[in-house]
Structure 1
Amino acid sequence: MDHVWNAFIICSLLEDCHQCQCILEVNQCLNQSECFVEAMLDQNRRMRSYNQPLACRHFCSKCTRVISGEENISKLVSVIVVSQPCCSILNCWVHLHSPCDRFCHVHSTNLNHCAIKGCTRPVLSGRLTCDILAHQESEALHTLRGKSCFRLHERLELSCTIHGCLANVQIGAKEDEGDEANATQAIGEEVYDVEKKPGKKKRLHAHFTRNYTHCKELIVAPCGIIHARETMHNAEGVGSVAVKTHPTHVFFNNNCQLTLHVKDDPFFQDIGLSVDVFHFECKHSKSDMFCQENCNPATFPELKTDDGEWYFNSSACEQTNSWFSNFNPITRGMKPAKFDFFLDEMILC
């Protein structure tokens, strides 16, 4: 397996150097896995700065429409659930030395502090928490949850509480509500309810394991060509989406918020912003008049043919999701340089 990975990396780097008309230079070191890190980082930086080289020159009838002699190019913004380990400190972009680390080398001193959020007391020997009993109980519960017997007991209790299809629907609805309520919770953060006083509970937030980035953001043409990608560390912010491309039209599932964000930006004055057809019909409220008036794809005549059909495939992102997300199990455990390098090569292929 190691020989296959090394051959893949070397061939990919040589092809990139051939396109750039340069020579591949690597450091001589004893560890084979570290020889090509700098070369991979250089390629990653070029990909991030100049996007996919072939996609930038790509135009076809599925992603480009000529109206009155002017090109109308449509792009889609796709959110891919492929995450990678990162430092547990919020908004820290320093790479981890190992995917198993909780903190980068800049914030490594936090390993001596209690894993409970907001607590700076020193940890006990062999533990991740301090001498406070409630914090130790949270760590013990975290350890217990990682054992198979705990998960099997949870499944047994859940099966005993389900009575018929109606109960299944109610449980599913409650889980969905919980997911929405915890949407602002940091990735990798665990929540524990501990009894502070009789009848009262206090919620503790802890980081016992490594953190993960939020997602990968892709810019996809309606024909399926991926133009660029970007890592979203903490959330899918509209401000991060707003600086990526300059087509004549952009589909995005949250364009109603993006339109408000860039309403005074001259860069977006000649760019149409609409929600893709699938999300507009299923996810956006009809009572939201701003969204209905400004982000309805039907209000943009360039998106429809003379027969009233949709000219562009606004579901290209969902189709790309099903393909790109399959690489998630392969990338688990990869260091950041190899993680981005591998995904870029899969896009190029």
Structure 2
Amino acid sequence: MKYLLVQDDEDGGDRLWGKCAGVEGLFIDRVPPPREILTLRGCDPRGPLAEAVAQPDTLPQALGEVCVEVWDSEQPVQWWTLVDTVVVAYQTNVADSARYDIVLGAGVRNEESFFELPASPRFEIFAGTTAAAAGAGQCSAVDGLFKPRPDPAPVPMELIGCEPAEPLLAALRRPRRTERDWAYLLVLDRHGAVMASPTVGLAITGARPSVLGGALVDITLTDGGDDRPPLAARPVWEAWHQGAPAVPNLWAPYDSRGRTEWLELTTRAWRVRGPQPDCSGGEHHLDGRFVTDVPGLHCAMGEAVLGPGRYFGREWNAFKDCLGGGFGVVPPFTLVWHDSEVARRALAEVIDDPEGRLSYFEEIVQLLERCGVTVVLQ
């Protein structure tokens, strides 16, 4: 069996719903949301957004994925993703001639909204992927962001060759939405270790004798959930299914999307493993030959300080948190960065520094040194 379906019980443990030999529909690419027009009001653009404003002759200009963080006076309380964002036009803000109103075309997804909209919100804008998001500015309002949108249609998931436990048998006898609608699908590697645990819906559309025969059943879940990995993750997951990485640089052949998915699996593995006792001192060696993008930098960094397949941050903020302790290694220590010029050149145009002076590579080196790490660039 490669999969376990479990749900948290009332005591915080795992209650087994069933075992499955296979899952169809585990990997999906989200259907892009419909295109909309939004306006960033009173925007102080930075990074890629500032570049678009500085070159009006190049409009419309693509920004890719944009994250909008909605802040109260202390912290972000809502997160929105603008998919395939394009800068369409801009004009000077009427109330502040130093700021702009920037018109965007994008699809809109609400990622997390734990709190209501603050009375006086502020908006932080980031452009890029989760593993390489660059600050793109601040604005005072986002016209068109807060409005009702229909939920996307659920995408079913097929559980193949299931051995149902009692909770799942009860659900099969009386198909309906359970009192608690979601469970974890534990994905096991060939040694039985949990390598991932996406959430799935427990509403059952249908069940039938399994194509694998015997007393097994095949079950259709109405909604496989939004926690499923994209199609680009399939080869990475197949590699991890053979067991946790034991040698370095297995991530290196993948493109940036594959490396980002590699980092996702290291993150999940850390969550399963939990906080680790910290050690400091000594010398760590970073193999820089394949550090050609931001995800590659963090793959190599995790291997340098902790070993293959280990998590030590997947973007700047998470990396900073790891340097603060609780992840297995804490400064002071020495990092010998071999072939560092590869990353210096590859990341020269990746700039998240608000002042626009430092590349991502330079920021990482500066952060390491500020936290007490002796960095030796070779």
- TM-score band by shorter chain is under 0.3
More strand as a share of residues: 2
TM-score with structure 1 length normalisation? 0.25
Question: Normalising by the residue count of structure 2, what TM-score does the alignment of the two structures yield?
Answer: 0.24
Asked which structure has the greater RCO (Cα within 8 Å, sep 6+), the reply is: 1
